[in-house]
Amino acid sequence: MAPLFKCLEACFELFVPLVVADMIDTGIPAHDAGYILTRGALLLLLAVIGLICSVTAQYFAATAAAGMGRSISNDLFSHILDLGYKEIDQIGTSKLLTRISSDVTRVQTGINMFLRLFMRSPFIVFGAVIMAFTVDPRSAVIFVVLVIILSLIVFGILIGTMPYYNKVQQSMDRVTLLTREALSGQRVIRAFNREEREQAEFLEENSRLLSFQLFAGKISALMNPLTMVAVNFGIVCLLYTGAIQVNMGSLSQGQTIALVNYMNQILIELVKLANLIILISRALTSMKRINEIMEIKNSMDTVAAPADMALPADKETCEPCAASPQTPFISFRDVAFSYGGHKNVLEHISFDASKGDSIGIIGGTGAGKSTLINLIPRFYDVSEGSIYIDGRDIREQDIHKLRARIGVVPQKAGLFAMSLRDNLKLGAPDASDEALLRAMEDAQGSEIIALKEGGLDHLIEQDGRNLSGGQRQRVTIARALSRDPEILILDDAASALDFATDARLRKSLKKYSGHMTVFIVSQRVSAVRDCDSIIVLSGGHIAGIGRHRELLLGCPTYREICETQMTREEVERDEIA
């Protein structure tokens, strides 16, 4: 509808020079005031109708562009949420933020201007040329030559600026990245007095962005003067030839004025068209960048298998663990994983876990503890080997049903700007207040509800800024417990808790041992020593599996960790116990 009404507006605009020419050639020589007023009223009517068409076109264009922008943003955001951790790690958060904000805005602006001007401007340009031929074919040749020259100017500048607009967007990604890092890490920056370094780095990248924008702007700035020179030269030629024909009597004064008006219309519309092409080129660049994200597919197959896949007959047990007469609840079979590099982060990981077991995972920094537990809810897919839950490869299970059985407490406590109740209900949307209070009690977080104004209605700020580190961890633990999962993963979830609170937390978790399999990742020996099985990782390999005393006696890596956290007397006592 927008192009249609814009073309209607252009039609009425093309009649204006003819009405003015008729007024000059007929009404003024005859001193006919009535005729002049009648033609003036016709001009006013054409202006009103044109205004109505213009406003209508603007409404439809804005509605379509805003709706398209909303749809692109929704689709892009939905697509990003469907991507796996691997793809998001490769793309980077700053690029995704730029795509969903400034790139979508540029596309929306481009669509708006396209609907308003892409049909109108060419229509008026070619319409003015055709109308010039109806007025005087000899003078209209000037129009044809001028349109060719102006087209060369416009498209030449367009070709010269398009590559630089792509560089502008790439530099914008970098500026967004630096801004995001500086704002999220401002406490670290201030703590180490690195403000000047951050400012210098930001200034350097911002200056690079400025240089690209200025260069593209300088080329684009040539558009108006070059087109003005060309059109004014055309007007001079038109007035010269028109004056000769007026003296010869083959052309009237009104017709000459009409030709000049058509020339001015061409000038105005070509300038608009040139600016439109620049906007469209930038929008196309942004659309290309959006498409690059949309074309990235999740490398994980998230659909359910057509049939259950049981464990192979020859793989009912795994070597690191004691044999079990039944199919293990969770089983890792010679698992290896790489983040995309040539070297595996994990290699030859094999163990079994029965339902209701508590599994401790301990090891040095960079041993692969978090990577291992991230494989269970399929945040990443294994590079080699298989992971089985209930005898089925997790890659053959519906990913949403799989994750519905798992409660995860990540290393970084991720809380959202909403009430405490809503944060807890992220784990279980249908949970009652009683269930949430019970989960908070088990997570040793009852005092948070008691101390905070409003209790469960207390508003949590973004990232839980109005909570301490220990309070944030207890809320995230309660969030995971609220869904009563079959598998609970605690990824260093008690690092900010004192030893007494940590001990009470582990004691309260034992009530879930009948039906919940718990994975505890920790640097503390005290957090895993009472687990049914402890997995010791070293350099991405399993250095030992067993209970606390077994590992003290048979695993040098575990014994070394214990000796750094326990007294010699405690180690010797545990060996004997």
What HEC string does 395-435 produce?
Answer: HHCCHHHHHHCEEEECCCCCCCCEEHHHHHHCCCCCCCHHH
What tokens appear for 269 in the block? 């519309």
Query: Could you give the C-alpha distances from 192 to 145, 177, 196, 197, in angstroms and in order?
Result: 66, 20, 11, 11
Predicted pLDDT of residue 306: 45
Predicted pLDDT of residue 74: 93
Using alpha carbons, select from 426, 381, 373, 372 the residue that is nearest to residue 399.
Answer: 381
Q: How far apart are CA 478 and CA 426, in angstroms?
A: 11
Write out the residue limits of the CATH 1.20.1560.10 domain(s) in the chain. 70-294
Q: How far apart are CA 260 and CA 212, in angstroms?
A: 39
What HEC string does 490-544 produce?
Answer: EECCCCCCCHHHHHHHHHHHHHHCCCCEEEEECCCHHHHCCCCEEEEEECCEEEE
What tokens appear for 444 in the block? 């040793």
Candidates 3.40.50.300, 3.50.50.60, 3.40.50.2300, 3.40.50.170; CATH matching 408-484: 3.40.50.300
Query: Could you give the C-alpha distances from 44 to 33, 39, 40, 90, 264, in angstroms and in order?
Result: 16, 9, 6, 60, 20
DSSP 8-state symbol, 100: I
Predicted pLDDT of residue 301: 67
Long-range Cβ contacts of 74-83 (<8 Å, 24+ apart): 75/294, 76/100, 76/104, 76/290, 76/293, 76/294, 79/293, 79/294, 80/293, 82/298, 83/296, 83/298
Predicted pLDDT of residue 53: 87
Answering whether pTM is above 0.75, one says no
Q: How far apart are CA 190 and CA 548, in angstroms?
A: 42
Neighbouring C-alpha atoms within 13 Å toward the C-beta of 313:
0
Low-confidence residues of the chain, pLDDT below 50? 305-325
Write out the residue limits of the CATH 3.40.50.300 domain(s) in the chain. 408-484
Give the amino acid at 342: H
Predicted pLDDT of residue 317: 36
Predicted pLDDT of residue 303: 57
What tokens appear for 390 in the block? 């209930």
Superfamily of domain 70-294: ABC transporter type 1, transmembrane domain (1.20.1560.10)
Predicted pLDDT of residue 341: 67
Q: Which residues pair with 127 in a beta bridge?
A: none
